[in-house]
Amino acid sequence: MRPYREYWSDPGMMTPPTLRPDEAMKLEDLLENIDDLVILATTDGKILYVNRAWREKLGYSQEEVHKINAHDVLHPMQHRLVAVNEAKLMAGETLRDVQRTFVAKNGNEFFVEGFLNYRFGKDGKPEYVRAVFRDITERKKAEEMKNELIAMATHELRSPLTSIIGSIELAKRHPDTADKMLEMALRNSQFMLDLINDYLSIEKLTSGGTPLNLEPLDLSALVEGTLETGRGLGAKNQVRLELGAVLDGAKVSGDPDRLRQVLTNLLSNAVKFSPENDVVTASISRKEGFLRVSVADHGPGIPENFRGKIFGRFEQAEGHKKGGSGLGLAISKAIVERHNGRIGFETGNGTTFFFELPELAS
């Protein structure tokens, strides 16, 4: 550890601490070993002290710290904010929950929140600013994602709800249409419920709230079983579900309910987009330590400008909406990735969606 003297690098600037050297050592030890970013700097930005967390987060060595200005790590957009805060600090206020964007030496940006105040000398002039910041990048990202989801979900729920109200009003005014209108209201209510369930499901999956019940699974048995239960779904659209090539006995470590959910979603999309009287084929293949489950259809394919967005939340291709929530593939992706797997598709004449999971050694 550096001796205590060195760390008050500019003793002329401030009143020396009234601590004994061994107490100061402990204090420095504390500052050097916390996660918060601590900085003391003159009001024009000359750095007097920064702790280890600050140096590591911002990517500057102990030597480099003295060659830069404290304002250099602030995002350029924030310089105006500094001027606004200056007046309050000069009046002796402590600023709390101040949010800033810092830019590290390598250009990485991150958000911090913290407190700032000035230390004033006997002459009433500010000697230096004390600041402690905490990295809130992850929290901020989670908040943004949540807000985005809420905005999207409320937007998506508006149209079925408007339609339900419209149906009920019509049924009231024209009792002869009541049956048809209530039928429509029921369909839209079911749609809203599905949407909310999907929304909750993805929320839980991505926040880690849904534990996976992993067990060794015979993938062929899982695919066959899911096809069996999915047959009704195909029959309604006169689409046949067929089992293609499988690998008997090939195993993965997986949560059977969740993996069935992924496969059912891929099958139901394939059926929805298949021409009538067509065939959808599910098969299994092996590739570089992974087992791939594929679902192939002969539908219209995925429009080029939609391919990059297809696994996003609430995404549906223009002109290719068939009453879903736009969350099915996002949920499938979350499930597959929780299994350390990957999901993708090939498209042209028809589409083949697939997911790959690490094969368990037998």
Residues that bind ligand ADP (CB under 6 A): 265, 269-270, 273, 297, 299-300, 302, 310, 315-317, 320-321, 324-330, 351
Q: Which residues pair with 115 in a beta bridge?
A: 132
Q: Which residues pair with 37 in a beta bridge?
A: 133
By C-beta, is 220 or 265 nearer to ligand ADP?
265
For residue 345, the minimal CB distance to ligand ADP (Å) is 8
For residue 214, the minimal CB distance to ligand ADP (Å) is 24
Q: In 3D, which of 358, 336, 196 has the Cα closest to residue 263? A: 336
**For strand 109-120 and strand 95-103, is the pairing parallel, antiparallel, or unpaired?**
antiparallel
By C-beta, is 65 or 330 nearer to ligand ADP?
330
For residue 332, the minimal CB distance to ligand ADP (Å) is 7
- Structure-block tokens of residue 135: 């990295």
356 Cβ partners below 8 Å, 6+ apart?
Answer: 287, 290, 291, 292, 293, 336, 341, 342, 343
By C-beta, is 51 or 206 nearer to ligand ADP?
206
Question: Which residue's Cβ lies closest to ligand ADP?
Answer: 324
By C-beta, is 299 or 341 nearer to ligand ADP?
299
CA pair distance 328, 189, nearest whole angstrom: 18
For residue 269, the minimal CB distance to ligand ADP (Å) is 3
Helix (H, G, I), strand (E, B), or coil: what is residue 343? Answer: strand
149 Cβ partners below 8 Å, 6+ apart?
Answer: 199, 203, 313
By C-beta, is 230 or 328 nearer to ligand ADP?
328
By C-beta, is 4 or 314 nearer to ligand ADP?
314
For residue 95, the minimal CB distance to ligand ADP (Å) is 45
For residue 68, the minimal CB distance to ligand ADP (Å) is 47
DSSP class per residue in 35-85: SSEEEEE-TT-BEEEE-HHHHHHHT--HHHHTTSBGGGGB-GGGHHHHHHH
